[in-house]
A and B are shown apart, each in its own frame.
Chain A
Amino acid sequence: MNPAYFEFQNAVKLLCGQDALERIPDELRHMEAEKPLLLTDAVLLRLGIVKKVHDVMQAEGCVPAALFTDIPVDSSLSVVNRIVAFYREHECDAIVAVGGGSVIDSAKGARLVLSQERDDILSISGMENLHCGRHIPFIVVPTTAGTGSECTGVAVIRNDEQAVKMEFLSPFVEPDVAVLDARMTQRLPARATASTGVDALCHAIEASTCLQSNPLSSAYSMAAIKLISTNLLRATRCGSDIDARLAMSIAATMAGIAFSNSMVGAVHAIGHALGGVCHVPHAEAMGILLPHVLNFNLPVAADGYARILPEMVGWDRAAVIPSSQRGCSLVQAVRELLIQLHECAGIPLRLLEVGVTESQLVRVAETAVNDGALIVNPRAMSVEQIVNVLREAL
C-alpha cells in the first residue's frame, strides 16, 4: 500500500569513481568559489589523506584558502561555532569537508550557520524551520563508507552541556557535491570498515521499515542492502579491494539518501543516546544494538523485514524459508553477519565491550526517549522497554 503522503528530495551531485577527486576544482569553479576552506581532522592529516585532496586541488589551480583540522571524533556545537568564526576570519567562500561522520556533520552545521548568517548553531535548532539563506558552496569527501552523511539533510552534533546528540534537520543541510573515490577509504582499518558498513546497513534497514518509509526511499534501501551484503565482508577482509570499497561507498550513499527521506528508528535513537551519555562511537553502537532492536520491533515489522531478507541472503536462500519465518530469519542473518565481522575485524557485539555499565542504562534510555528518530520507529518504545533492550545488549 502506498503511504498517504510522502516527500522525497536529493539534490546532491555525486562524483563517483576514477579520478573523482581531481574534479573537485572544476565543481568549485562552477559554483564561483575561489577560496575554499578545507575541513578535516588531525588523524586524516597525519595519514596523508588530506594531502592527497589538497594536492589534486592545487594541481588543478584551486588552492584551499585555509585548513581547519581541530575536529574531534565526537564533534560538538562549540566546534561548529569555531569553524564558523574561522571561515569568516579567513574570508573563505566555500567549504570542502574531508572526513568521516564527525567532520561532515560539523561542516554541515557550520555551513548552515553561515548560510543563515548567524554565529551560534543553537539559535537555528529545529526541523524544516529554516529558509534557504545564502548559498555557501559545499563539497564533501567521505573517508568512511557508512554515515551516508554526504547525501543527507540532517546533521547530528553533540551538545556537551546536555550530554545529548542533537539533530538539525533541513533540506538546506545537504551538500552540493559528494565525492566518492576509493582512494579515500582504501586505508580505513578493518574494524572501522566493518562498523561503518554496519551503520550503513542499519540506515537501510531502519529507513525501509520505519513509519516514514516510502517507495522511493525503500528502493534505495533495498539496493544498498544488496550491495552491503555482498561487499562488506570483502572490503573488511581485503581493504585494497577497490571494487568492494567503491561498492560500499555507493551503498552508504544510497542508504543515506534512503534515511534522509524516511528517517531511521530506535537503533539510532538509542545509539545517539549511547554516544551522548557514554561516548560510544556511533557506528559501533549501531552494530551492538541492531539485532536487539530488530528483535523488539519484530512483532510489528516482520513483513518489512521479510521483504529485506532476499537482498540480505540472496533470493535462492530466502525462497526456501517459509514466508512466516522470513522476518525472524532476517534478524538471524544480521546476527550472523555481525558475528563474522566480530571474528574478522573485532567489532564489539556487547555494550560491556565499549565500557557501558548497567548503572548508565536508565540515563541512556531517558535520553533516547527524547530523540527525534524514535517517533518513526515502527513500534512505540517506553523508557522501560529501552532499558530492557539495553540490558539484552549489555
Chain B
Amino acid sequence: MTRLLQKIVVAIALRLLHAALVELQLLDCTMAQELQKLPKGMSFAIHTGHKAPALTVRWDGRRLQRVIEAGYAAQCTLRIKALAISFRLFTGQMGLAHAYAQHALTVAGEIANVMRLARLVNRAEAYLFPPFISHRILPELPKLEVSPIRVYARIVFGFLKSTYS
C-alpha cells in the first residue's frame, strides 16, 4: 500500500476515533466516567509518523474538543514511530498494548496519562471494530452498553452536521 493511501486511512481513522469518543461520552456510562476523571484542561496528541496525520484533543471538563491550532503543546504526546505502524494500529491489526510492548510509541509527558488515553481508545475500539478484531487486539473484550450500529449512526449524523470539526 502506498504511503499516501496509508496517510488517508490513518487520517480518517483518527477523525473516526475522535468522533467515537465524543459520541460514547453521551452513550456509554463507563466512557463518560473515564472522561470525567480527566483533569480539566488535559490534552493529548497522537502523532502517527513523519509528515503524517496527527490528532490533538483537549478535555474542557464537558467535552473532548479537537484542537486544530498549529503548534499546540499537548500535556501528553504519544508519537508512533512510523506511519506503517500507525496504519496497523488504526486498521485493527495491532492493539495499543501490543504497540506499547513493541516499543512502537514514545511518550512525552507522564506515563499515567498514556494509561488514561489507552483505556479511552480501547473502549472506543471495542465499538468501532467488529468483535473478531476487538477480541484479537484488546486485552479484554469490554461489555458494550449500546449497539455499535447506534454509535456509527450518530457518528455519520455528527459528521453531516460538522459536529466534530
* Residues in A lying within 8 Å of B, measured CB to CB: 3-7, 125-129, 164, 166-167, 169, 210-212, 263, 369-372, 374-376, 379-380
Report yes or no: B139 in contact with A128, Cβ–Cβ below 8 A: no
17 interchain pairs, CB-CB under 8 A: A4-B102, A5-B102, A6-B103, A7-B103, A125-B108, A126-B107, A126-B108, A127-B111, A128-B107, A129-B107, A129-B108, A164-B112, A166-B112, A370-B113, A370-B116, A372-B112, A380-B139
**Contacts A211-B97, A376-B100, A380-B139; A127 near B115 (Cβ below 8 A):** no
From B101, B118, B138, contact of A212 by CB (8 A): B101
Is the C-beta of B110 less than 8 angstroms from some C-beta in chain A?
yes
Report yes or no: B140 in contact with A379, Cβ–Cβ below 8 A: yes
Report yes or no: B106 in contact with A127, Cβ–Cβ below 8 A: yes
A169 to B111, CA, bound (A): 9
Closest Cβ neighbor of A261 among chain B residues = B103
Total CB contacts across the A-B interface at under 8 A = 78
Is the C-beta of B114 less than 8 angstroms from some C-beta in chain A?
yes
Is the C-beta of B98 less than 8 angstroms from some C-beta in chain A?
yes
Across-interface contacts of A211 in B (CB, < 8 A): 97-98, 101
Across-interface contacts of B119 in A (CB, < 8 A): 369
B90-110 near A? 1/0 per residue, CB < 8 Å: 000010111011111111111
Report yes or no: A376 in contact with B97, Cβ–Cβ below 8 A: yes
From A3, A125, A379, contact of B139 by CB (8 A): A379
Closest Cβ neighbor of B116 among chain A residues = A370
Min Cβ gap A156→B in Å is: 11
Min Cβ gap B49→A in Å is: 15
Min Cβ gap B145→A in Å is: 15
Across-interface contacts of B94 in A (CB, < 8 A): 4
A125 to B109, CA, bound (A): 5
Min Cβ gap B51→A in Å is: 19
Across-interface contacts of B116 in A (CB, < 8 A): 370
- The secondary-structure label for the interface of chain A is loop
Segment 107-147 of B: residues with Cβ below 8 Å from A: 107-116, 118-119, 138-140
A50 to B135, CA, bound (A): 54
**Contacts A4-B102, A379-B139, A379-B140; A166 near B111 (Cβ below 8 A):** yes
Across-interface contacts of B100 in A (CB, < 8 A): 212, 375-376
Interface band, chain B: 20 to 34
A5 to B102, CA, bound (A): 6
From A4, A127, A210, contact of B107 by CB (8 A): A127
7 nearest interchain CB pairs?
Answer: A380-B139, A380-B140, A370-B112, A212-B101, A372-B111, A127-B107, A128-B106
A380 to B138, CA, bound (A): 9
Across-interface contacts of A169 in B (CB, < 8 A): 111
From B96, B105, B107, B115, contact of A370 by CB (8 A): B115
A214 to B109, CA, bound (A): 27
Report yes or no: A371 in contact with B115, Cβ–Cβ below 8 A: yes
**Contacts A127-B107, A129-B108; A369 near B139 (Cβ below 8 A):** no
Q: Which of B94, B105, B112 has the most CB of A within 10 A?
A: B112
A371 to B100, CA, bound (A): 13
Across-interface contacts of B113 in A (CB, < 8 A): 370
Q: Which of A3, A6, A127 has the most CB of B within 10 A?
A: A127
A345 to B101, CA, bound (A): 36
Report yes or no: B101 in contact with A125, Cβ–Cβ below 8 A: no
Known: A4-B98, A126-B108. 4 other contacts (CB 8 A): A4-B102, A127-B107, A372-B115, A375-B114
Across-interface contacts of B106 in A (CB, < 8 A): 126-129
Across-interface contacts of A166 in B (CB, < 8 A): 110-112
A117 to B116, CA, bound (A): 30
Closest Cβ neighbor of A369 among chain B residues = B115
A210 to B102, CA, bound (A): 12
A234 to B112, CA, bound (A): 39
Across-interface contacts of A125 in B (CB, < 8 A): 108-111
Closest Cβ neighbor of B37 among chain A residues = A366
A110 to B52, CA, bound (A): 35
Min Cβ gap B132→A in Å is: 18
Segment 16-58 of B: residues with Cβ below 8 Å from A: none
Across-interface contacts of B110 in A (CB, < 8 A): 125-126, 166
Closest Cβ neighbor of B138 among chain A residues = A380
**Contacts A211-B98, A375-B97, A380-B140; A128 near B103 (Cβ below 8 A):** yes
Report yes or no: A6 in contact with B102, Cβ–Cβ below 8 A: yes
Across-interface contacts of B79 in A (CB, < 8 A): 129
